[in-house]
Structure 1
């Protein structure tokens, strides 16, 4: 089953504009020209013996230069993040070593320049690796090596492009101190580093995350106390377990879904959007997508209890994974006996039993209740046009405001409600079309996860990792790969390193669009700016 057509429509195709025409160029290796017909030799002559052709050279695992280039980029990102990232309000490392100047004036400018130089090198290395993967010159093992080298520096970086990890630690501290993090916000904590580093927007906000994540955050705070630096590193290490699961699951998904393991790993695990935002930014989406991908692998292998259990654990980290569960029910039902209604009933009952048991155990071990369900809408306090309903509401309000003075909240509310309705209708249709189970169910679950990222009231760049974790295992065309490169690089850049949104800085966004288009063009033209010829 080809996945490329729908991916190219759903996965940020508007971001590449002219790159679709570029994708039709030397992205795919040319076919071997037909050999000329060989005429039989005359009867009286004997053909001379021909030498045996040399065996085709085995593809190298990966280019060492490419791996080291990306490693250098990740190291520069980490170094620049010390002054330009989501740094602590009071950083003891900077204060005690006399490097506090990196956070102000020209020092911060230098740190920011270093960070963006690292991003450029990492993106360049990723694109170079992508060309090798597409041409069959790099193996899955080589891509895994690149992922490992590029990830290591980011494990000890300050929070990058986000400050959410400070909220995670504060929520863990609430649970550790006996508060219910689904009722109380970080403001309940005593004044100190755990509270002062949480964004003002979230200080009164209860946790919107599942019990498994609260248990992890609680454990991290129990070990690190008020040490923010140790807390950030240990929390990131815990969440990076999701990257390990993802790297384990992607080659297996590719085998079962018809794709190629090196390409799947390159698209969804080596991707700078994943490494910088989910590892460097330390978002719990990383653990969620790792559990989700692993669960789908087991479901495709007909180990449905384990598969649904793992996806339930993903839901117990972040609720977004719940969109995949109904499709696993169809996959299970397709392997049962009886009519469609009977099979669906049995699969729903069995799936609910696994879900309830797994989720109940997570809740019990975390020592919390179900109050997080009422906190799921808290993220809607963030308004940006990356969410299509929010963009529509802002656009209509802006047009009407030309003629009338009206409150924008009403337009936003109507648009977001419409987005939920559209998502429900789209998801229901895809679920019904997936009743054959198998690969078709995974395909349609992927589309729903991508639609959820686009139609949610609030969308952050890393939300597109939800669908990409499964989409990477399907067959991709050259045009879809180019679209994915453009979208990934653009989404990587639409947030400032401090965590503030750049979505309303139109000059900056134009530059980000130019960089993403250049990255996409580099997939089909290794030297798009013709720098080598000029040299």
Structure 2
């Protein structure tokens, strides 16, 4: 490895370590965590100066990691064979400190903890909220989960129950075990994103840089430990098997096809959203020259095998198919950055001025968006070249994500690996996708560092710390874009030789 690459990786590692340190002060902890008895942690969480230092450290760490990510692209965008190992090594090294970080940017991890407890208590998480459990709030779960049914599949609930059976009353052990599950997903991402890029004829190192080394993925999948990591990793592994099955014959064709279905079904059993991939998995399995009768045959085979497996998953857990109906109806609400939410914001504001809840506007547009996404998926199932099925699947999944008024930052990581493998984000003759993905990554880093802070209420400093974090972000972006021509050229120039 060249000294320049070592320096960039070390620089990113420093950023990741700063995030780890900052998380001790403003990350999410359960009320009785042993960490809260450490002198340094007490100061970082209970004194204004300590909290301010933690906020600055966390936010600065995010921007150092982001800067290192851009510099890594600058060093490795020549598409030579040595680039992929460098990018992969960077992703692994930058991720390592986050295994020990206090959860940041989200506390959904503690909802997993309590849902695992629900399963162990013999309750049905699809009909029972975590508020039925003793000490559920002290276990760190956001109050929004109190009465809500789980939005996760039975397979993940089994894993959550297994984690809690091993962890017992230790939230710290549970967090580490959930993180290890997410690491399995990230490992699958790091393995199969480059493999899919190779199959699509695009640069594996660029795809790995966009996805595996992306700070948003590292924080969302490791620091926050979203179970989407496992869902995405399994789906990518299954997609690669389907692509290879379509290009193979004989026993290998069938073995890889069945493996593809098994992996994608496991992904669906984690979160239902990857169900949208199934018809395209069938098309990939059928092969690039499949006739219409062959396509329908493989659709039937895919639906039969996957449907049987999903019924079996529900039956083993005692949920039947009720879990599917619950999950289909999940996900109401809106986030202000979602395209549909932006589009109807004036109407929602007018509705609010009339003394009505704007929720009806967002719920209505959400329903229309779902209908629209179904139409797009059906269209892409039946229209388009058979040798472009992977690309069609990517756009179908994107429609499902983007035609919703509710888009959490980590939802973009559902489709980012697919777009990365197609080369759409990094082709030098089309720079705006790279500008978009770096801009979106930076925006969500700034938002997460400012909005998702655990600050004691008695300090009455929530707004102050948010503004402090935003100020650090402004300084960070300014320094990166205006004082470093290399980082600036990655975003604004499609020429690998630009400096």
TM-score of Structure 1 vs Structure 2, range by shorter chain: 0.7 to 0.9
CA distance in 2, matches of 1:376, 1:522: 47
CA distance in 2, matches of 1:498, 1:82: 16
Q: Name the counterpart of 1:151.
A: 95
Contact in 2 for aligned 1:242/1:287 (Cα 8 Å) = yes
In the TM superposition, residue 411 of structure 1 has moved relative to its aligned partner by: 1.9
Contact in 2 for aligned 1:78/1:158 (Cα 8 Å) = yes
Report Cα offsets for 1:63-91 as digits up to 9, x if no partner: 11111111111111011101112232333
User: Relative contact order (alpha carbons < 8 A, sep ≥ 6): 1 or 2 greater?
Assistant: 1
In the TM superposition, residue 414 of structure 1 has moved relative to its aligned partner by: 2.1
Contact in 2 for aligned 1:316/1:362 (Cα 8 Å) = yes
Q: Name the counterpart of 1:345.
A: 296
Report Cα offsets for 1:228-281 as digits up to 9, x if no partner: 111111101112101101111012111111111111111111000100112111
Q: Name the counterpart of 1:287.
A: 230
Which of 149, 159, 163 is residue 216 of structure 1 equivalent to?
159
In the TM superposition, residue 108 of structure 1 has moved relative to its aligned partner by: 1.1
Segment of structure 1 superposing worse, 181-190 or 445-454: 445-454
Which of 324, 329, 335 is residue 282 of structure 2 equivalent to?
329
Contact in 1 for aligned 2:130/2:136 (Cα 8 Å) = no
Structure 1 regions of 5+ residues with no counterpart? 1-58, 529-535
Which of 263, 277, 290 is residue 310 of structure 1 equivalent to?
263
CA distance in 1, matches of 2:389, 2:277: 9
Report Cα offsets for 1:479-521 as digits up to 9, x if no partner: 132332222221222224663799xx99988986896687678
CA distance in 2, matches of 1:370, 1:520: 51
Segment of structure 1 superposing worse, 127-136 or 367-376: 367-376
TM-score normalised to the size of structure 1? 0.79
Q: Name the counterpart of 2:21.
A: 79
Distance 1:514 1:421, change over 3 A: farther
Report Cα offsets for 1:163-187 as digits up to 9, x if no partner: 0000011111111121111111111
Q: Name the counterpart of 1:411.
A: 361
In the TM superposition, residue 287 of structure 1 has moved relative to its aligned partner by: 0.8
Q: Name the counterpart of 1:50.
A: none
CA distance in 2, matches of 1:494, 1:287: 24
Q: Mapping of 1:472-487 within 5 angstroms? A: 472-475=420-423, 476-478=426-428, 479=431, 480-487=433-440
Structure 2 regions of 5+ residues with no counterpart? 246-255, 455-461, 490-499
CA distance in 2, matches of 1:510, 1:374: 44
CA distance in 1, matches of 2:410, 2:334: 16
Q: Which has the larger radius of gyration?
A: 1
Distance 1:209 1:62, change over 3 A: farther
Segment of structure 1 superposing worse, 136-145 or 244-253: 136-145
2:413 pairs with 1:471? no
Which of 124, 129, 138 is residue 67 of structure 2 equivalent to?
124
Q: Name the counterpart of 2:198.
A: 255
Report Cα offsets for 1:277-313 as digits up to 9, x if no partner: 1211110111111111111111110132211221111
Which of 115, 120, 124 is residue 180 of structure 1 equivalent to?
124
Distance 1:330 1:416, change over 3 A: same
Contact in 2 for aligned 1:243/1:287 (Cα 8 Å) = yes
CA distance in 2, matches of 1:251, 1:275: 17
In the TM superposition, residue 429 of structure 1 has moved relative to its aligned partner by: 1.8
Q: Name the counterpart of 1:432.
A: 382
Q: How many residues align?
A: 462
2:5 pairs with 1:68? no
The secondary structure found in structure 1 opposite 2:226 is coil
